[in-house]
Amino acid sequence: MPTVSMNVNGKAVTGDVEPRTLLVQFIRETLRLTGTHVGCDTSQCGACVVHVNGESVKSCTMLAVQAEGSDVTTIEGLATNGELHPMQEAFRDNHGLQCGFCTPGMIMSGIDIVQRHGNPDEATIRAELEGNLCRCTGYHNIVKSIKDAAGRMGG
């Protein structure tokens, strides 16, 4: 079995994996970081979005061995010293989540959207959320949350 090493949420981690192991399986099953979710098997839903070297990636669509040597950030790695990331705060303040299952992926995608667009307008946010599905919120408050967070992040 190949050995894979990477930095996850600032910590060096190593594990033996089958070559077919997906990054999301490595994160959830080997590292037991269960905040990253699996909602489909066709890379549609985005519940598994993490950041790899600062870019948002669907971790169900990447093999663990492809992340060798990468810096990976998951939902668990966003808060620093107990302080929530502005995107997390915005989702709470704007009721941007209901069941919470799509939420980690939405938050990780939201950060990526703001990082790339600065202060995106509503249409941009909606278009950029193409790869994240939510069944609970009708997206209304997710869009509002990301817009709010963009302001808080200085966009």
Partner 1 sequence: MTEATGIGAAIARKEDKRFITGKGNYTDDINLSGQTHAYFVRSPHAHATINSVNTSAAAAAPGVVGVFTGDDMAADGIGPLVCGVQITQANGDPHNAPAHPALAQGKVRFVGDHVAVVIAESLAQAKDAAEKVDVDYGILPSVTDTGGADAAGAAQLHDEAPNNVCFDWPFGDKDAVDAAFAGAHKVSSLELVNNRMVTNPMEPRACVADYNSGSEELTIYLTTQNPHVHRLAMSAFYALAPEHKLRIVAPDVGGGFGVKIFTYSEELVCGWACRKVNRPVKWTADRSEAFMSDAHGRDHVTKAELAMDENGKFLAMRVNTKANLGAYLQLFSTMVPSYLYVFLFAGQYATPLIYSDVRAVFTNTSPVDASRGAGRPEATFMVERLVDMAAHDMGLDPVEIRRRNFIPKDAFPYQTPVVQLYDSGDYDASMDKALAIADYDGFAARQAEAQSRGKRRGIGFSAYIEACGVAPSAAVGQLGGGVGLWESAQVRFNPTGNVQVFTGTHSHGQGHETTFAQLVNDILGVPIDNVEVIHGDTAKTQFGMGTYGSRSLAVGGVAIANACEKIIAKGKKIAAHALEAAEDDIEFADGNFAVAGTDKTMNIAEVAFNAYVPHSYPEGLEPGLDENAFFDPLNFSFPSGTHICEVEVDPDTGVVEIAKYTAVDDFGRLINPMIVAGQVHGGIAHGYGQAMLEGCSYDSESGQLITGSFMDYAMPRADCLPNFELDYSPTVPAHNPLGVKGCGEAGAIAAPPAIIGAICNALGVRHIDMPATSERVWQAAQSA
Least distance (Å) between residue 140 CB and partner 1? 4
Pick from 56, 59, 70, 141: which binds partner 1 (CB under 8 A)?
141
Q: Which residues of 107-138 are buried (b: 16+ CB within 10 A; e: fewer)?
A: bbbbbbbbeeeeebeeeebeebbeebbbeebe
Phi/psi of residue 78, each to 5°? -80, -40
The answer to whether 99 contacts partner 1 (rule: CB under 8 A) is: yes
Per-residue binding letters, 31-60, with partner 1 (x by CB under 8 A):
-xxxxxxxxxxx-xx-x-------------
Phi/psi of residue 50, each to 5°? -130, 175
For residues 19 and 69, which CB has a smaller minimum distance to partner 1 in the complex?
19
Pick from 117, 126, 152, 155: which binds partner 1 (CB under 8 A)?
126
- CB-based contacts of 66: which residues, under 8 Å, 6+ apart? 23
The answer to whether 73 contacts partner 1 (rule: CB under 8 A) is: no
Point out which residues bind partner 1 (CB under 8 A): 18, 20, 28-29, 32-42, 44-45, 47, 74-76, 78-79, 84, 88, 91-93, 95, 97-104, 107, 122-123, 125-127, 129-130, 132-143
